[in-house]
Amino acid sequence: MQQAEVIGVGLAVLDHLMVVSEFPSREGVFPSTQYHVEGGGMVATALVAAQRLGAVTEFWGRLGDDEPGHAVLKELKSFSVNTSQVHIVPEGKTGVCFVMVRADTGERAFVVNTQTDLYVDLKNLHLDRIRKAKAVLIDATWIEAAQQAAHCARSHGVPVVVDVHDGR
């Protein structure tokens, strides 16, 4: 197994994407021109992009032992993202997101069913792996792990990139 150049700590979800001509402004039925189911989440998506561009990547995250979690894990592996630090939580629930994408602008609207019951003991994090990485990417979904990873990275001179969003 190669040393990861980019380690990402954070969110992976299962996205249901529908391309629409406009966002609904009222109750009703609206057509979609395309439908896809694929892995998502800020960190997981960034790692797949980096992997496709030639970087060696590793995802640190939590998934439920459920159908969405298994689908996300399978997809990450299909893109050769190292998933050895993914924690499958038996009673946990993987996040699922419905994403409407406007066909003309690419603007997106999200309806999120957040992940729940995904406790992982932080003693299970292999922080020593960060020392040799070229960058660490974190988000704000697993704060405790992100803080530890960022602190470890900074103490070894590894750049930290933070991807956060306004939840409004």
pLDDT, tens only, 5-24: 999 999 999 999 999 999 99
One-character DSSP codes across 65-128? SSHHHHHHHHHHHHTT-EEEEEEEETT-B--EEEEEEETTT--EEEEEE--BS----GGG--GG
pTM of the model: 0.90
Local mean pLDDT, 10-residue blocks, the chain (168 residues) = 90 96 92 95 96 97 96 98 94 95 95 84 88 95 93 97 76
Q: Give the pLDDT confidence score for residue 15 in this predicted structure.
A: 97
